[in-house]
Structure 1
Amino acid sequence: MALHIAVFLITLSGLIFEIGLTRIYSATIWYHFAFIAVSVALLGWGLGGVVVHLLRRQLIPTMEKAALLTLLYASAIVVCLWLIVQFPFRFEFLPIYFIAPLVPFVLAGMALSLIFHMHRETASTLYFADLLGAALGALAVTFLLEAFGGETMLLLVVVAPLGASALLARQYRKFAVAGAIVAVVIAFSNERMGLFRVIPGTLKAMRRHMQETPGTRVTQTGWNAYSRIDAVEGFPPPNLARLYIDSDAWTNAQQWDGRLDSIRYVRNWYRGLPFRLASGAETLVIGPGGGSDVIVALGSGSRKVTVVEMNPLMLQFVRRYGERAGNLYDRPDVEVIQSEGRNFISRTERRFGVIFLGFVDTWASVASGGLSLSENYLYTTEAFQAYYDHLTSDGILVIMRWGVDLPRLVSNAVALLGADEASKRIVALIEKRNTPDDPPQMIFMLRKRPFSEEETAEIMGWTEANPLIVPGRHAEPPYDDLFSSRKTLDQVIAESPRRVNPVFDDSPFYFATERPWGMPHQMRLALAGLVVPMLGLLAIFVVLGKPMGKPVRPYVASIVYFGSLGAGFIAVELTLLQHLTLLLGHPIFTLSILLFTILGAGGIGSALSGRVPTRWACLAVAGLGATAAFALPRFIPALLPLALGARVAIAVTLMAPFGLMIGMPFPRGLRQTGQGSLPAPPFYWGLNGVMSVIGSIGTVVAALVFGFQVAMLAGSACYVLAAVASGAMEQ
């Protein structure tokens, strides 16, 4: 029992450390680089097995060695956090941000590899403890982040591997107990003493702005599973504070006395232009942040404003300013809904005169076992359909973004309505300012009915903006050709130097505009930097891994089997995550539910693995994946009107069979290793980890280029390969 608890504690801490790092990396680097934390975790777990296999003659497996490695793993977590704190991110420090978290995961992977090697006859029950620990870690991380913040959470999680070390070997118990006491003391004094406070990197807007504006100071900091938010005061009035999300994107909480008469001047603001066409409307603001758009809507005459904000910290921070901010989110004419915008609009039956989205992005990384799939469902064609259906007969969808966003927004509208109808309903404007520090903003409007001639004449006379598209009066290239039928949408897309095709729920990568795959050059380099070494390591590993003088066929089959399990699991998991994010509406909440269910059910599947033939378990996963690839895109939208509790129950019901069957093949195959042509378990532990990294990258590329349906089918194909290989491996 002590052995199983130790495995449980190692994987519990590993999952919390992994997801905690994604949050810290989002706050210190860029959200794009949060994938480093998760890919490093996968790589580290796998490399631990590689190291144990390569040192199998020098590293004789003992419980004492496993305990020592676990003790070092706990210490390495603290060192990793210290390095991140001491070296705020700059590009030259990127190797530190890669290597620092790699070491703890390698040590943890080595400890688990030794344990599974020494006790492979109980691999099923050990794997049950492994998955159960990871499942509870995924569930706990949300609560720990909100309760303690990112830095303190990582200090507290050190207690788990220290406890595991004490259980594995008596001789290290004094060190483990002493270390746990020190970690707890430092953790609970950290907020007061600031020993381990993460500082945003030099590329982050918050740090730049504070350096450029003397006298600014951080007055509030909060963490949760969505983001870290810092309230920085000291900027010029009427700003009470600038609220930074993950130290980069920001929104302003504004000073206001709460009287409508005192903000009537906002009608003349550029952001107030759309409200001139919808006087007295009921307005929906998605992603209101600090509340500037809410003030504009109220001051421009909206009789009621409904705001939908996903991040509870944002609401909490604004409410702390109370009367100084006009009690903005506690007014009778402002209704606050805490939810994700697309999810809310799909569930409500209400109609709105204006639906307003002002620079709404999901920067929080949503990652599990692979790269961060950071895009959301707010800017897909299906989302446009939902907004359009919830407008009044005279209503307007208003999206404020940059000029580079216009082609994608127009493509979505044309995909929804057709070029002829869209040409009558689209207005696009660009602000009359253009400075390097304050680039112009673009307003995109899609009206439920065609704009009238009187309205378009009025729009052409607005002095605050230049027209880009005004029905019947003006259209910039290439929209003039598109709306005059001289070119089709497909021709416009083909001729564009960037990807401007419509975005759909199956591949919701609205911001992926760089040709050919939608990945920025920097990200392509980062992926290549991961894939090339992984493929080289895999080739060396496979060539040198075969026991001397043994048949080749079972060994090759085992490579295909365990490699397919690693790649297939990641593909299925990431695709399920994207589908269920739409269902549940909260990305990190979805992540916790997904991992808890799949890993928990996987643990049960591991315990039952001896009762189901390997081939049938693999084929069952393939069948579930193929069915989900075609059924979920049609099934999930129909479930959105249900209450959250019902949607959670359905999500768990959908995911549990996946977890149950996914948990069976790995431990069952592991029991066959260490004899004949098959190397010992650490070899396959490493192979599985390396293929998980390669599989996660492959899933991202497949989703970007072909969509998540293809990504899920690719994951299912991996399990078919594993089923075929299982027969040859047993011979």
Structure 2
Amino acid sequence: MQRVGLALISGAVLALELALMRVWAITQYHHLSYLVISTALLGFGASGTLLCLVRGWAARHWRGVSCAAALGFAASVPVCFAASQRLPLRPLELLWVPSSWLWVLVSQLLAFVPFLFGATCIGLLLIAHADRAERWYAANLAGSGLGVVGVVAVSWWIPASWLPAFAAALGLLAAGLLIPGKSVAPLLVTAGIAAAMALAYARLPLSDLHIDEYKTLPGLLRLGGSRIVARRDGPLGRLDVVAGPAIHEVIDLSPAFAGEVPPQMVLASDAGRGTTLTEVADLRQAEFLDWSVLAAPYHLARPGKVLIVGAGGGTDVHLARYHHTPQITALELNGQVADLVRGQFAGAAGDPYGRPEVRLVVAEARGWLERTEERFDLISVPLLDAFAAASAGVYALNESYLYTLEAVERMLSRLTERGVLSVVRWIEYPPRDAIKFLATAVEALRRRGIERPDQHLLVVRLQFAAHVLVSPAPFSDRQIQSFRSFLDSRNFQAVWYPGMPAEEAGHRHELPGMDGDGRLVGRAAIHDAARALLFDDAERFHQRSLFNLRPATDDRPYYFNFFRWKLLPVLVRLGPQAASQMEYGYALLVVTMVQAVVLAAVLVLLPLRWVRRQAWRHGGKLATAGYFGSLGLAYLFLEIAFIQKLSLYLAHPVLAAAAVLGGFLVCSGLGSALSRRVSSLPGLPCSAVTMAVALIVVVGLVCTLGLSALLEPLSSPSLLVRTCVCLVLLAFLAVPMGVPFPQGLVQLDRQEPAYLPWAWGVNGFASVVAGPLAVLLAMAVGFNALVWLSLGLYVVAAFLRGRMPGARGTAGHPA
């Protein structure tokens, strides 16, 4: 029963980590979720130091202490979570209002408390049963893996604000199994604590999440008469349907339009931009859409077959129906969005998916495009992100496989001979998003062997968005004339068409760029960039640009990262008012990593200076630090890299994270359980660690160099089949990854147990830093390079193990 208790508390800790990441995605932004990962790992590192400081006392009273720690975890979760929701966090002000960092630090410390309790319970149980460590470590990792699966499963039925309560409930169950004694009294105590916690949960305002005021949902609710009329929770996000008389959302509607916009609602996802529901009872009410930049491709030629990526509330479906498109395929990732639009709000949305010419497909767009062989006359990719967040750079750390170079190539390959790819992107000030997609489209055309990509592009804009049209065939004179007539009749600004004179750029709506000193220059930044990319030296253009405008790739899928370090002095010089509209996500991640390093040093490494100082007189301290530090970095680097690599194959972001994370933990636990048996086998040519590292390197290299070729024959429409393939693949990598860490601990415990605090602390320190560092490295050099670096770290660890105390041939120790 105690091993079951260990499994439960391990699952509870990991469930809490994922629950807080979901909450932060709603209340703040995606990039700050890395703080949760670092805080959780910081709790494990600090718990190791704490156990080292009270090792003797804790070892004598491990039953009572482990139970108390589990109860502390369960009791602290609701209190700390409720307190954190009352903090005035404003992430968009972090770089310019120093006091904002104080609230971030307080939030981290509140999250740190339950992780410290949970990690202390886990660590104490493992130390107390070191003689059977392989069984207990396997229970720890298996419970962690099941915690991942459990929190994803329950997120279908309970709101995100109650997910921490699920983690606390698991912790309470673990405490009940760990209570010492065999009488009925411990059970009564546990029941009493459970009743007290239930009462506390009922009184705590856990349903009221404190959402950042700059996000879309609070802005909508500030409009007069606006209110939330429906809410749905799920692993893909929280959905809020907002209705109100002041809600009207049409991207760049022509000022020449004199008609009326039908009643609308907004469906916000994770409190950010979601999709619009438009009450189109009659197709004539969709006329307003024909006066927006979205209508440009329909005026080139009437498409017979249209694919809409991210159909959401169905507004783009109404536009296609307005132009009498006979076949419309609507792709939508989130099944709950589709259910709302087809069900409760079918009338408010104009019932877009109930029409005979419309086929709704609930699937991730990139994965579906990779599997389908259908061809379309038009592939439309509308705006799928919020303008305010994109302008501030908060999407900089979001991975997106929809706008990579490979994705654009795939979409072009799914077009008919004279088909059109239509992509709408935001125009920030100064502009960069639209320019980056334009650079991606130009490179994709050149990869197809097209020598004159300028003949295959049309670009139109107004104030907030640019519409890029790309075709595998040159646009005809008739199409160009239709395009110009469309612009003239609606007073839109031409950005690019074949043969466009330079003086026409910006003659209706000026859009200056920014030079290297932060000064506004020119009057048509996107047109100037297009001319440089098409006719001048594109490499020179990218080198001189103040922003990162190179195309994103599947290996570096950070399309929204526009930050370059040469931008930082400009940000400082311009000051908060102008710089708040520029990129800061990347710089914020660097600051986050520095903060994690400082906290880890204070809470993990510094206390170890007071632990058995006499141990530092012996040799092998640096080798021990290098060994366990390399393992801490390498394990998380591989885990993060493979979550991204396999998300494309699984074509389901939530399942990819759950399957890879759970698969790594369970399979590593199996490797740990087998490590003692393997190391005791007679006649081995080398140590178990060396064999494990060799297998890790071989499998890692195969996956890096040939993962696509390996998975392509195994691609299946069945998500279950693809998940099983991923788990089998992960087993070959994760099982040997579970060998080096416990083998290193065994070696130290036998020969130099005084070094254990140092090893535990360094590994915790490295794990804290690994999360944000992995993202920084992936953005800079790509996920393949991150895998290679992790493999190199495993090789370094295998080398350093031979210089640790107790290694064969180490001076002063038996061979």
For normalisation by structure 1, the TM-score amounts to 0.91
Q: How far did 1:709 drift?
A: 0.7
2:190 to 176, 180, 184: 176
Gapped runs of 5+ residues in structure 2? 92-99, 249-261, 388-394, 503-526, 567-582, 679-687, 808-815
Whether the 8 Å contact between 2:631 and 2:741 is mirrored in structure 1 is yes
Residue 376 of structure 1 aligns to a residue whose secondary structure is: coil
1: CA distance, partners of 2:588 / 2:633: 24
Per the alignment, do residues 544 and 506 of structure 1 end up closer, same or farther by CA in structure 2, a change over 3 Å counting? farther
Moved more, 267-276 or 166-175: 166-175
Per the alignment, do residues 413 and 128 of structure 1 end up closer, same or farther by CA in structure 2, a change over 3 Å counting? same
2: CA distance, partners of 1:652 / 1:195: 36
The amino acid across from 2:318 in the alignment is I
The amino acid across from 2:134 in the alignment is S
2: CA distance, partners of 1:341 / 1:267: 25
1: CA distance, partners of 2:354 / 2:207: 36
2: CA distance, partners of 1:589 / 1:479: 39
Q: What pairs up with 1:68-87 in 2 under 5 angstroms?
A: 68-87=68-87
Q: Deviations over 1:356-407 (max 9, x none)?
A: 11123599xxxxxxx9963121011100111000011111111111132122
The amino acid across from 1:510 in the alignment is Y
Matched, 1:207 2:218: yes
Residue 679 of structure 1 aligns to a residue whose secondary structure is: helix
Whether the 8 Å contact between 2:82 and 2:205 is mirrored in structure 1 is no
2: CA distance, partners of 1:407 / 1:634: 32
Residue 252 of structure 1 aligns to a residue whose secondary structure is: strand
1:525 to 591, 599, 602: 591
Q: How far did 1:85 drift?
A: 3.5
Residue 747 of structure 2 aligns to a residue whose secondary structure is: coil
Partner of 1:118: 128
Moved more, 711-720 or 404-413: 404-413
Q: What pairs up with 1:240-639 in 2 under 5 angstroms?
A: 240-257=264-281, 259-319=282-342, 320-361=344-385, 374-403=398-427, 404-418=432-446, 420-431=451-462, 433=463, 440-461=464-485, 462-463=487-488, 464=490, 465-474=492-501, 476-484=527-535, 487-516=536-565, 520-534=586-600, 540=606, 548-549=614-615, 552-612=618-678, 613-636=688-711, 639=714
1:657 to 700, 722, 732: 732
Matched, 1:666 2:677: no
Q: What pairs up with 1:84-123 in 2 under 5 angstroms?
A: 84-87=84-87, 89-90=89-90, 92=100, 93-123=103-133
Residue 728 of structure 1 aligns to a residue whose secondary structure is: coil
Whether the 8 Å contact between 1:506 and 1:633 is mirrored in structure 2 is no
Q: What pairs up with 1:209-228 in 2 under 5 angstroms?
A: 209-211=220-222, 213-228=223-238
Whether the 8 Å contact between 1:534 and 1:690 is mirrored in structure 2 is yes
2: CA distance, partners of 1:239 / 1:64: 62
Per the alignment, do residues 695 and 44 of structure 1 end up closer, same or farther by CA in structure 2, a change over 3 Å counting? same
Residue 203 of structure 1 aligns to a residue whose secondary structure is: coil
Q: How far did 1:558 drift?
A: 2.4
Per the alignment, do residues 532 and 633 of structure 1 end up closer, same or farther by CA in structure 2, a change over 3 Å counting? farther
Q: Deviations over 1:549-568 (max 9, x none)?
A: 56633433322222111111
1: CA distance, partners of 2:719 / 2:170: 32
Whether the 8 Å contact between 1:346 and 1:641 is mirrored in structure 2 is no
Per the alignment, do residues 182 and 314 of structure 1 end up closer, same or farther by CA in structure 2, a change over 3 Å counting? farther
Q: How far did 1:56 drift?
A: 3.8
Partner of 2:18: 19
Partner of 1:366: none
Q: Deviations over 1:16-45 (max 9, x none)?
A: 111111110010011221111122111112
Residue 379 of structure 1 aligns to a residue whose secondary structure is: coil
2: CA distance, partners of 1:45 / 1:373: 25
Residue 283 of structure 1 aligns to a residue whose secondary structure is: strand
Partner of 2:142: 132
Q: How far did 1:674 drift?
A: 4.0
Q: Deviations over 1:503-543 (max 9, x none)?
A: 11111110111103995333332222223443566663676
Moved more, 242-251 or 320-329: 320-329
Per the alignment, do residues 180 and 714 of structure 1 end up closer, same or farther by CA in structure 2, a change over 3 Å counting? same
2: CA distance, partners of 1:651 / 1:361: 30
The amino acid across from 1:466 in the alignment is Q
Partner of 1:437: none
Moved more, 342-351 or 221-230: 221-230
Q: Deviations over 1:614-662 (max 9, x none)?
A: 2222332233222222122544456546543332222111111122111
Residue 723 of structure 2 aligns to a residue whose secondary structure is: helix
Q: Deviations over 1:313-333 (max 9, x none)?
A: 211222211233232223222
Moved more, 74-83 or 680-689: 680-689
2: CA distance, partners of 1:70 / 1:538: 21
2: CA distance, partners of 1:638 / 1:541: 53
2: CA distance, partners of 1:295 / 1:399: 17
Per the alignment, do residues 55 and 180 of structure 1 end up closer, same or farther by CA in structure 2, a change over 3 Å counting? same
Whether the 8 Å contact between 2:40 and 2:112 is mirrored in structure 1 is yes
Residue 98 of structure 1 aligns to a residue whose secondary structure is: helix
The amino acid across from 2:3 in the alignment is H
Per the alignment, do residues 549 and 195 of structure 1 end up closer, same or farther by CA in structure 2, a change over 3 Å counting? closer
Whether the 8 Å contact between 2:397 and 2:586 is mirrored in structure 1 is no
CA RMSD of aligned residues (A): 2.6
Residue 671 of structure 1 aligns to a residue whose secondary structure is: helix
Partner of 1:198: 209
Residue 614 of structure 2 aligns to a residue whose secondary structure is: coil
For normalisation by structure 2, the TM-score amounts to 0.82
Q: How far did 1:607 drift?
A: 1.3
Per the alignment, do residues 345 and 29 of structure 1 end up closer, same or farther by CA in structure 2, a change over 3 Å counting? same
Residue 251 of structure 1 aligns to a residue whose secondary structure is: strand
The amino acid across from 1:477 in the alignment is D
The amino acid across from 1:384 in the alignment is V
1: CA distance, partners of 2:236 / 2:705: 30
Residue 553 of structure 1 aligns to a residue whose secondary structure is: coil
The amino acid across from 2:17 in the alignment is E
Per the alignment, do residues 541 and 392 of structure 1 end up closer, same or farther by CA in structure 2, a change over 3 Å counting? farther
Q: Which has the higher contact order (CA 8 A, sep 6+)?
A: 1
2: CA distance, partners of 1:11 / 1:556: 31
Count matched residues. Answer: 709
* % same residue: 25
Whether the 8 Å contact between 1:120 and 1:681 is mirrored in structure 2 is no
2: CA distance, partners of 1:235 / 1:289: 21
Matched, 1:41 2:36: no
2: CA distance, partners of 1:96 / 1:626: 42
Q: How far did 1:546 drift?
A: 6.2
Partner of 2:51: 52
Q: Deviations over 1:257-276 (max 9, x none)?
A: 2x434434532333212211
Q: How far did 1:545 drift?
A: 5.4
Q: How far did 1:248 drift?
A: 1.6
Per the alignment, do residues 628 and 131 of structure 1 end up closer, same or farther by CA in structure 2, a change over 3 Å counting? same
2: CA distance, partners of 1:244 / 1:70: 37
Whether the 8 Å contact between 1:264 and 1:300 is mirrored in structure 2 is no
Q: How far did 1:495 drift?
A: 1.4
The amino acid across from 1:204 in the alignment is K
Per the alignment, do residues 650 and 421 of structure 1 end up closer, same or farther by CA in structure 2, a change over 3 Å counting? farther
1:715 to 790, 802, 811: 790
Q: How far did 1:309 drift?
A: 1.0
